[in-house]
Amino acid sequence: MSIEISERMQNLKPSAIREMLKVTADPSVISFSAGNPSAELFPVEKLAEITASIYAREAATALQYSITEGYGPLRELTKQRYRKYGIGTDEDDLIICSGGQQGIDLAVKCLVNEGDTIICENPSFIGALNTFRSYNAKLVGIPMDRDGMDISALEDALRREKNVRLIYTIPTFQNPAGVTMCMERRKKLLELAEKYDVIILEDSPYFELSFSGEIIKPIKTLDTSGHVVYLGSFSKIIAPGIRIGFVCGPKWLVSKMTVAKQIADVHTNMVFMMVVAKMLESYDMDAHIAKCRDLYSRKCALMLGEMDKLFDKRVSYTKPEGGLFLWCDLPEGYPSLPMCALAQKRKVAVVPGMTFDVNESTENRGFRLNFSVPTPEQIKTGIGRVAQSITDYLKPEN
């Protein structure tokens, strides 16, 4: 047999993190590698009650084929909820998709030809990077500092690169870096997108998980020219297993993304589109989100405190103001891969920066830590093990 995999998929590997999920099934391993929300926060009782009422009253609708755009009341309630933040105008439309990941796929499918360029933060979300690779796009990574994407490096790239079709960004509590783009840069980013006529794909699954409760305005709220496609998700504020997200963007583009969705999966799971609609209608989502924020804020503070105590002082790390992740950098000359391997021997899983590196560089000195999943005890024990692995790896200071 001489059948070959298509060119676009030939070199694409499974996400190292999702593969790691299989390793961390070992219960003696402490995992800081997931991107999961904390299961203790799932509003199980309410979901169960709503699901039962849907079976009782609207089963035929819930179990039958639906339109591709998604369940009407869910679209309407989602629009209403996010309009309050300033997301979406009358020129925009909103459709439901099967998690935020599908929104990335649909946007790329509709906007990017093979060989076109996509600009993104470096490091960035591996699920997005692999989607870009699967369309044979050229990836250009822009470095970040504590205030997000380096805007002058972005402008250089926009000036230099041909056929830039997308700027992908996770501006708030970025995955993996845990940093947030400041408002000045958000404005500047939008100006550049308008100047170079490029769509911004704003991936925003975490912005409501702000530790202080203060919401940093998404870039979409500044968009008056229709240059921003906003991706939202219920994964981190309800539950990820149900795979419900949404896309809000210019009508001409969202209608084409709907065609792309039709041939991807026809429509999203109908029962759970109805469940989420009823959640938005009858559950105090803001109180629930406040609970999530509170728990993650405490876990993050605990993790940072342990790191301050135990990590070699040459290691630097971000201090996130929300979300699920923080990012550490080993000192110059120390790629993180060998340290992550040492940590794995000590039964603690952390994700090497190379995984999120646009260029997949083995020289990457970073690693990502998740604080939403582990218990306080696991955070204490696990950070001790990571600290020990770092000590084993770094040569003593002169």
* Residues between 270 and 309 with contacts to a copy of itself, criterion CB under 8 A: 270-272
Q: Which two tokens stand for residue 300?
A: 């993050």
Burial of residue 226 (number of CB atoms within 10 Å: 0-12, 13-18, 19+): middle
336 sits near a copy of itself (criterion: CB under 8 A): no
CB of 271 to a copy of itself, least distance (A): 6
DSSP code of 169? E
Sign for the CA dihedral angle at 65, 66, 69, 70 comes to: negative
197 sits near a copy of itself (criterion: CB under 8 A): yes
Q: Segment near a copy of itself (CB under 8 A), from 40-48, 181-189, 291-299, 347-355?
A: 40-48
Token match 């939008």: residue?
A: 190
Q: Which of 342, 313, 348 is nearest to 328 (CA)?
A: 313
Q: Are 331 and 390 in contact (CB under 8 A)?
A: no
9 sits near a copy of itself (criterion: CB under 8 A): yes
Site for a copy of itself in 200-229 (CB under 8 A): 225-227
Q: Segment near a copy of itself (CB under 8 A), from 77-85, 125-133, 280-288, 358-366?
A: 125-133
Token match 């609970």: residue?
A: 291
Site for a copy of itself in 142-181 (CB under 8 A): 165
If the CB atoms of residues 358 and 390 are measured against a copy of itself, the closer one turns out to be 358
If the CB atoms of residues 2 and 28 are measured against a copy of itself, the closer one turns out to be 2
Q: Which of 227, 201, 183 is nearest to 106 (CA)?
A: 201
Q: Are 109 and 130 in contact (CB under 8 A)?
A: no
If the CB atoms of residues 62 and 315 are measured against a copy of itself, the closer one turns out to be 62
3 sits near a copy of itself (criterion: CB under 8 A): yes
- Chain Cα centroid distance, residue 246: 13
What does the alpha-carbon distance between residue 1 and residue 215 come to, in Å, rounded to a whole number? Answer: 56
If the CB atoms of residues 91 and 284 are measured against a copy of itself, the closer one turns out to be 91
341 sits near a copy of itself (criterion: CB under 8 A): no
260 sits near a copy of itself (criterion: CB under 8 A): yes
Q: Which two tokens stand for residue 168?
A: 């992908």
Q: Which two tokens stand for residue 200?
A: 């911004």
29, 73, 83, 130: which one binds a copy of itself (CB under 8 A): 130
Binding mask 60-89 for a copy of itself (x = CB under 8 A): xxxxxxxxx---------------------
If the CB atoms of residues 56 and 287 are measured against a copy of itself, the closer one turns out to be 56
